[in-house]
Chain A
Amino acid sequence: MAQHPAERRSGYLDMSPGTRAMQDDDATNPGMLWVLDGEALWGRKAGAADKACADCHGAGMKGVAARYPRVSDDKLIDLEQRINLCRTGRQKAPALAYESRELLALTAYIGFQSRGLPIEVDETGKTKPFLEAGHAAYHRRQGQLNLACAQCHDERYGARLAGNPIPQGQATGYPIYRLEWQGLGSLQRRLRNCMIGVRAEPYAYGSPELVELELYLMWRARGMKLETPAVRP
C-alpha cells in the first residue's frame, strides 16, 4: 500500500505555541476534564449485571487504545464499539451513544493510559481485508467537490485551506479537544466533518466504512505516539 507522506508529522507540530502548551500541561488541557469523568465512570457500577469496568479490568488499560480498531469475532470494531460491547454484553447496560459525554469520557480515559505509546494496529490475517477497504476509501474521490482524503492529506499537507494549515491527518490524539468544537470529539466526528466539507453524505456513526477508515488512519500513523487527549484548533 502506498504511503505518501515521507516524513510523518503530527498535527501537533503545526499548532501555535499557545495551543501546544495547552495540550502539554494537564492543568490546562481541557480534555483532562473528560479523562477525569472517564476515571469516575470506570469505577461506577452499571447495568443489570451491576458491574463496573474496574471489576473486570482493574485499573490497567495501558496500551489498549494504541491497538484499536481491531477484529473481534470477524468484525472490525473501534474502541467506542468495544466499550459498548462490554456494556451490552457484560454489564447488561444500554449502549452509549456516539459523542455522548459518557462514551467520550471512557474513550478519553482509556486512550489517556496509552499516551506516549506507539500506535501498533494489526495488519495481517483477518485485519487485512478491512485495512485494504480503508485504504481504498481513503483514496476514493467523493462528494460534490469530488475529493479523496489523500488529495488533501497526502498530496497537499502543509499548504493552506481557508487560512488554516492542512495537516497530514495523522489520527494520533483522539478523542481530541477541538477548540472549534468547544468540546471533545471522536475520530468519527472528525471524519464526518471532512465528508460534509467535500459535500459528501457522511457515513453514519459506527458504520463499517468509518471504522475501516479509522483502521487505515491508525495504520498510517503506526509507530507514532498516541497523544490522547490532544488539543487541536
Chain B
Amino acid sequence: MARTIVRVPPKAKKGEIIEIKALVGHVMETGFRHSETGALIPRDIIRTFVCSYNGAEVFRADFHPATAANPLIEFSTIATESGMLEFRWAGDNGFTAEASAPITVE
C-alpha cells in the first residue's frame, strides 16, 4: 500500500476549526506523456480522496490528470467530538490507500 502522511491536531476544543494535512505517495501519471520509444504512457492517477470523521464524510475531492505527483491536500473541519478521522484515496489500476488519526475534543 502506498505511503501516507497525515497531520491532525491531537487535541482541539469543541467547535474549533482544525487544519488537516494529508500527503500520499503516488506518481500521478497524466496519460498524456510518451515514452522514449513513442508509446503512450497509460494514465495512472488518484481519482478520489475522502475524509470521514467518526464515519461521517466531512471532505471529498476529485483528482484530474493535472495534479502533481505525491499530492498534498490541506483542508479544515470543525472539531465536534473525540474519535477518529479516516482518510481514503482511490484511483486507477485499483489503487487504494488508507490512513487514520485520532483526535480528542475537549
Asked, given contacts A27-B23, A30-B23, whether A182 binds B5 with beta carbons under 8 Å apart, the answer is no
A36 near B5 with CB under 8 A, answer yes
Measured CA separation A231–B92 after assembly (Å): 27
Per-position binary interface string of chain B over residues 56-77, scored 1 when its CB falls under 8 Å from any chain A CB and 0 otherwise: 0000000000001110101000
A28 near B23 with CB under 8 A, answer yes
Measured CA separation A37–B3 after assembly (Å): 8
Partner among B5, B25, B28 whose Cβ is within 8 Å of the Cβ of A27:
B5
A27 near B70 with CB under 8 A, answer no
B21 interface residue per 8 A CB criterion: yes
Nearest CB of B to A112, in Å: 13
B70 near A182 with CB under 8 A, answer yes
B103 interface residue per 8 A CB criterion: no
A104 interface residue per 8 A CB criterion: no
Measured CA separation A25–B72 after assembly (Å): 12
A129 interface residue per 8 A CB criterion: no
Residues on A with C-beta less than 8 A from B5 are 26-27, 32-33, 36
Residues on A with C-beta less than 8 A from B72 are 22, 28, 30
Interface size class of A (residues with CB under 8 A): 10 to 19
Measured CA separation A62–B104 after assembly (Å): 34
Q: Which of B23, B69, B74 has the most CB of A within 10 A?
A: B23
Partner among A25, A27, A30, A37 whose Cβ is within 8 Å of the Cβ of B6:
A27
Residues on A with C-beta less than 8 A from B6 are 27
Nearest CB of A to B19, in Å: 10
B68 near A33 with CB under 8 A, answer no
Nearest CB of A to B23, in Å: 6
B14 interface residue per 8 A CB criterion: no
Measured CA separation A30–B68 after assembly (Å): 11
Measured CA separation A182–B70 after assembly (Å): 8
A183 interface residue per 8 A CB criterion: yes
B70 near A30 with CB under 8 A, answer yes
Measured CA separation A22–B7 after assembly (Å): 13
Measured CA separation A179–B68 after assembly (Å): 9
Closest-by-CB residue of B relative to A182 is B69
Q: Which 8 A-B pairs have the closest CB atoms?
A: A27-B7, A182-B69, A30-B70, A33-B25, A27-B21, A33-B3, A36-B3, A27-B5
Chain A residues engaging chain B, CB cutoff 8 angstroms: 22, 25-28, 30, 32-33, 36-37, 179, 182-183
7 other A-B residue contacts (CB within 8 Å) besides A25-B21, A182-B69: A22-B72, A26-B5, A27-B7, A30-B70, A33-B5, A179-B68, A182-B70
Chain B residues engaging chain A, CB cutoff 8 angstroms: 3, 5-7, 21, 23, 25, 27-28, 68-70, 72, 74
